Structure 1
């Protein structure tokens, strides 16, 4: 596998909105600003671009019944997803350098909860997101996926529009054995094989602590080398302490680790780069100041 040039991704949206004083509460999380302060969402996108991000992600992660409730999702889900796409597209089009927009397709039934996956309801939740985002994104990103089965379900329903498919898994933070695993318990090597079968362009690992990501990159790289698959590898970690098995992403404002300031996060990013990661950004708690340092030191 030849070394690929580094691509700088953006950082977390929800924490940055909250830090800037945008409307922000549970359970809506980052979706609240789409209706009450869309200008704040656009400003966060612009801030990441100014920091050097070459890819920004639509603020559609929380546009699911799990966050905004079933009645509101049924009435406004597609409209909110479209607004998320419009805001990201506007920010990207205003950039001085080329910036791509990733269409965020989140866990459909609750983050970190592979046990909540409901195959019978996938169309109900996923299709409005795809319809709303479709006209504004450059490629699709199924992110913070806890299990292979949901990733496959999302892949099967994407339109045949020629847009690339990026897939990002979240990892077990508990160091229970030497095999890197998804939160479902499935080995990363198995997930990488599935990604190759799905025609993934870039496989990433996100919303996990930095300590568990290196081994996942190694497992994915070794799998792709064995398969002869030319698939890029990337990562965007969060700044949380280890999250236990019963944790729920975006269930509250967890404390952030003091050691993951921009220089501290760069230390991990340099290690990921050496292991073969070519797409590097940040998740929850990683802000524009972190992305600026990544862009200056890695690119």
Structure 2
């Protein structure tokens, strides 16, 4: 039976959805500062659903974003709180899972290539790597340009732990920067990430693109979102404006994931609006055909071994 790494679902959106009266550009991080028990509860629900690798609630906690909100001095405390929230969920459930650090876009999601130097971007990612150094694996995710993707890889490789890269594609199949998927994979291949994935785009787009991705990189995967559109956020709006697609039921999403696996994916999970119920259905429906494991159990080389 083939081993497949099973990630959690849309952590930030699930936290934000459950929160009481929190509206902020910092999204789920703002919830964690005011209602940390919500974050622990969401983590625990994903663990109980069957997820084997759980992501820290640090997506919006980049130095750039915290500085913009006047919270940069709290960056260490925020990352420590993210670890505590997940560790409490692990203790409550009694299940051993991988803790995955998050290296997201530094300014906001769904943007093009930033007007910054490689060294400047790498240094900011290096700060995030050190703040999350206690994680088992690193997820570089929602990448829309190769500058941030390469800089995040360079920073993550210094730690010597497995890390993956996930690109976000537009409807035309290209990154927001205009680069093709083949160009994006070629740009980071020399860093030898443990896996290359697609995330935070429509499930149908992941399904259409997975056959190409598995030819571009030996360990591939995907985790899609279920938003109707992300244009409001891409234009600077808050996540409050986003709506979930009612047609992406747990059954419908699992059918898409089954196709990714049939095409050769080795890592699957969910992004925004993919709930614990989606993950539970997926884990149950596919359990007879695949052995779900933690990301670190896929026999992945560490970054230092890739050179």
TM-score (norm 2): 0.84
1:169 to 2:156 alignment? no
Work out the CA distance in 1 between the residues paired with 2:278 and 2:215.
29
Cα offset, 1:114, TM superposition: 1.9
Structure 1 unpaired stretches of 5+ = 225-230
Structure 2 unpaired stretches of 5+ = 288-307
SS at match of 2:121: helix
Equivalent position of 1:235 in the other structure = 222
Structure 1 stretch displaced more, 57-66 or 83-92 = 83-92
Equivalent position of 2:60 in the other structure = 62
Q: Does the CA-based 8 Å contact 1:103-1:139 persist in structure 2? A: yes
Work out the CA distance in 2 between the residues paired with 1:99 and 1:117.
37
Q: Does the CA-based 8 Å contact 2:19-2:35 persist in structure 1? A: no
Query: Aligned residues, how many?
Result: 285
Cα offset, 1:32, TM superposition: 0.7
> Kindly tell me: are residues 27 and 191 of structure 1, through their superposed partners in 2, closer, same or farther at Cα, counting changes over 3 Å?
same
Equivalent position of 1:274 in the other structure = 262
Q: Does the CA-based 8 Å contact 1:29-1:67 persist in structure 2? A: no
SS at match of 1:281: strand
> Kindly tell me: are residues 142 and 23 of structure 1, through their superposed partners in 2, closer, same or farther at Cα, counting changes over 3 Å?
farther
Structure 1 stretch displaced more, 6-15 or 188-197 = 188-197
Counterparts of 1:172-183 in structure 2, within 5 Å, are: 172-173=170-171, 175=172, 180-183=173-176
> Kindly tell me: are residues 273 and 182 of structure 1, through their superposed partners in 2, closer, same or farther at Cα, counting changes over 3 Å?
same
Cα offset, 1:86, TM superposition: 3.0
C-alpha distance after superposition, 1:133-178 (max 9, x if no partner): 112x1011111010111111112123633210111111112x4xxx
1:257 to 2:250 alignment? no
Equivalent position of 1:89 in the other structure = 87
1:100 aligns with one of 98, 101, 106: 98
Work out the CA distance in 1 between the residues paired with 2:76 and 2:235.
24
Structure with greater contact order relative to length (CA < 8 Å, sep ≥ 6): 2
Q: Does the CA-based 8 Å contact 1:114-1:147 persist in structure 2? A: yes
> What is the alpha-carbon root mean square deviation over aligned residues?
2.4
TM-score (norm 1): 0.86
Cα offset, 1:286, TM superposition: 0.8
SS at match of 2:207: helix
Cα offset, 1:65, TM superposition: 5.2
> Kindly tell me: are residues 156 and 124 of structure 1, through their superposed partners in 2, closer, same or farther at Cα, counting changes over 3 Å?
closer
Cα offset, 1:125, TM superposition: 3.6
2:116 aligns with one of 118, 132, 138: 118
1:147 aligns with one of 145, 148, 165: 145
Cα offset, 1:41, TM superposition: 0.8
> Kindly tell me: are residues 145 and 117 of structure 1, through their superposed partners in 2, closer, same or farther at Cα, counting changes over 3 Å?
farther
Q: Does the CA-based 8 Å contact 1:172-1:185 persist in structure 2? A: no
Cα offset, 1:77, TM superposition: 1.6
